[in-house]
Chains A and B, each alone.
Chain A
Amino acid sequence: MEIAVTVNGQLRRADVEPRTLLVYLLRETFGLTGTHVGCDTTHCGACTVLLDEVPVKSCTVLAVQADGSSVMTVEGLETDGRLHPLQSAFSDHHGLQCGYCTPGMLMAAWALLRETPHPQPAEIRRALSGNLCRCTGYQNIVEAVADAAQRMAQEVG
């Protein structure tokens, strides 16, 4: 089937089988390998992307379901070569080790901060509870997100 999806601001077209999952459209057809796959049962969140600005598990969305929508992946976080405050904060607070969960965490955190600009630690933990990390124990991720929230508030203010 022919589909058209706006990915990180660029309109892209592809011809896919209905069974193609969105994550493989991104990774294999569009070469955006920052979005990862970590499970078969929709539990890990390594594949999290924003679909029309809403974070979803792209392993559990068909590519054909994204036809006409916009998708943002980790590759779309930087603007004009500048890191998103979340990206810098993850590095500053050592919120990543192997980095496999990181793109998904960043996208889920992005959505949280858009809706809740000043989240409490418990809210951050809840918002990231669809994303598993096997390395960090989450604590530095929570700190990174809280700090990014502050930086973003300062940028705006």
Chain B
Amino acid sequence: MTTTSHNVVLHVDDVRKTFGGLHALSDIDLAVEEGKTHAIIGPNGAGKSTLLNVIVGRLAPTSGAVVFDGHILTGKQPHEINQLGVARVFQTPEIFPDLPVLHNVMTPAFAKRDGSYKLHIWENLLDEKTIQEEAESILQDVGLWERRMDHAGALSRGDKRRMELAMCLIQHPRLLLLDEPTAGMSRHDTNTTIDLLKKLKERGMTKIIIEHDMHVVFSLADKISVLAQGRIIAEGDPEDVRNDPKVKEAYLGGAN
């Protein structure tokens, strides 16, 4: 456990999560430092997405707590957690399929600007120039500007993911959680996404990234935690983790 560092912005403190008899997460401790990209890797079913679900408030942990920037997240509603500056790209894209791409990206901006609810009944969307311009510029960053009028449901899986990334970026989150952000993308789009994520890092955004593509992981990660069967079996710099025999074992499926 490396909880000694000073700029830790997210603490996962001894979190356990069981589904019936299944121990999806056991004794998880995690410390994510400000401005760093923390990768979580591990075989299928290791509990990676479950960990993100606990952080964003989709699941309540069986025990333990999550602390973000001095706030205890455990027990908070998802919208409250987002309002604190935590945004997430889901493993299966969670978008508004019936709305145009542009409106998908504009919607989270209202939550960022106005708080969790403000009933703008009497304003016209057309007059929300600042938000629209920002949405368009972020769509340009992720390479979807040409498709801004299309219904989001018509996008390919990779494009939906990039759009969901745009939906997160318009909120300028303090902590960005990415659950396999390049799955379903072409090699080219994967590389563009890596470049984009690197740029975000230069701007100081803290990220947790779950990824199976080791090229992506080693291009971005400052630190890696390896999860297998709900436990962190290794943690450290990319180089250490790469050479850790336990990790090789877990990935070869001989963990027990």
A and B co-occur in one complex: no
Q: Which residues of B contact A (CB under 8 A)?
A: none
Q: Enumerate chain A interface residues (CB-CB to B < 8 A).
A: none
